[in-house]
DNA sequence: GCTTTTGCCGCATAAAATTCGGGGAATGAC
DNA sequence: GTCATTCCCCGAATTTTATGCGGCAAAAGC
């Protein structure tokens, strides 16, 4: 054991092939390893090894099916801007802990510029919206909200623009 | 051929098992069919058949790997509200056609209430933001924009809340 | 130039996917 | 109530895929 390779943090080397693998998996998560290997010009064994490494390194977090929200009854979405009544750490913390528990809240981002949080809601209908809004207004620290209902989704989450 | 079952559109019957399958696949898209079958108390064959049916029906749109955006250099995101200079159909159309071509635009929603479009951007850094903003301001019909930079993502897209 | 390291290939084995035929329970006709 | 039909499910057989293991060749280090 002469020299131990010390890697700074997770600084694993990601080459062009890894990027292509991720690009393919991002679009076709359930593709067979054999086919994936073919796409990136590799034999199955090293290809699978790379996938495992990317997973272990956390670059590939997980895999998931993308479902048709509208067909499953979640055809409506909306964004809500939330302003808290004070900008102290505990107010933020309590809001965060509470907001993530609401199922209808698909995303929650703390933002700079005019208000404090921007939430994305996933709803069955407007009826559901009313109920959810009530829950949100009741969350700790909420001073005011402003809603923008999505009329049409022009572009859905398209994944990272990895250069193939 | 005595009676032809007339199904209204894609009104296939989705039972509890189908829902559970989708719930599992939403969280673990690359799970083996054998294991999925075990989870939903079914043998592999009918389980696979159900998955295929759900895919064919479009309820399962696709599968995809969820990548670590920050680790891949896309650690910054921002929302941009866009107001168009006129609300005529051709102005909207031209904007839509152009905005989807910008890689940095991860999502684009037409919204009701105050402005016209809400975009979600995925960026490498603030430097990149400047360039992207310039592109967006130059899009056809754009009258004004307002940006909200995400400081912290409290909750990411969590998928549909299917009751398991 | 030699040694070490790294990464790939190809084979062999185990596991999974996929296809088929058959059977049982619920549904509906009479 | 009985019989025919239909719908799903199961389990076995076959084809594909995943996966672990040497061994080789190119690249990097010294």
Is the Cα torsion angle A131, B83, B155, A22 positive or negative in sign?
Answer: positive
**pLDDT over 90 percentage in chain A:** 88
- Using the structure, give the distance in angstroms from the CA atom of A147 to the C1' atom of D29, rounded to a whole number: 61
pLDDT at B9 (0 to 100):
41
For residue A115, is pLDDT > 90? no
DSSP alpha helix (H) spans, B57-107: 89-99
Residue B153 is predicted with a pLDDT of: 95
Per the CB < 8 A criterion, the answer to whether B134 and B104 are in contact is no
Q: What pLDDT does B91 receive? A: 94
Task: Report CA(B23)–C1'(D5) in Å, whole number.
Answer: 33
What per-residue confidence (pLDDT) applies to A11? 58
> Is some CB atom of chain A closer than 8 A to the CB atom of B163?
no
| pLDDT at A1 (0 to 100) | 34
Chain B residues near residue A105 by CB distance under 8 angstroms? 155
Give the C-alpha separation, B149 to B76, whole Å.
Answer: 8
Asked whether residue B112 carries a pLDDT value surpassing 50, the answer given is yes
State whether A156 and B107 contact (CB < 8 Å).
yes
Residues of chain B with C-beta less than 8 angstroms from the C-beta of A25:
64-65
* Residue in chain B lying closest to A98 (CA): B154
Confidence at B12, pLDDT banded by 50, 70, 90: confident
Which domains, ranges and CATH numbers included, belong to chain B?
Answer: 16-56 (1.10.10.10), 76-149 (3.30.70.920)
Distance between CA atoms of A137 and A128, rounded to whole angstroms?
Answer: 14
pLDDT averaged over every residue in chain B = 92
Distance of CA A75 to the CA centre of its chain: 19
On chain D, which bases lie within 7 A of the protein's CB atoms? 6-12, 16-22
d(CA B120, CA A77): 14
- B75 touches B125 (CB < 8 A): yes
Tokens matching residue A26: 């991002």
What's the rounded mean pLDDT across residues A129-135? 97
Query: Helices B44-56 and B16-27, interaxial angle, to 10°?
Result: 80
Give me the residue label for tokens 């390194």: A57
């Amino acid at each position: 054991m002469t020299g131990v390779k010390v890697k700074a943090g997770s600084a694993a080397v990601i080459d062009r092939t890894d990027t292509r693998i991720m690009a393919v998996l991002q679009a076709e998560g359930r593709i067979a390893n054999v086919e994936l290997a073919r796409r990136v010009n590799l034999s199955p064994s090293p290809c699978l090894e790379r996938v495992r490494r990317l997973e272990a390194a956390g670059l590939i977090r997980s895999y998931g099916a993308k479902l048709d929200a509208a067909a499953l009854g979640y055809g409506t979405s909306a964004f809500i801007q939330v302003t808290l009544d004070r900008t102290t750490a505990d107010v933020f913390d309590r809001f965060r802990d509470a907001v993530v528990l609401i199922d209808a809240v698909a995303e929650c981002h703390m933002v700079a510029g005019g208000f404090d949080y921007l939430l994305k809601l996933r709803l069955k209908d407007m009826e559901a919206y009313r109920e959810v809004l009530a829950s949100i207004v009741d969350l700790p620290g909420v001073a005011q909200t402003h809603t923008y209902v999505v009329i049409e989704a022009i572009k859905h989450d398209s994944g990272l623009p990895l250069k193939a």
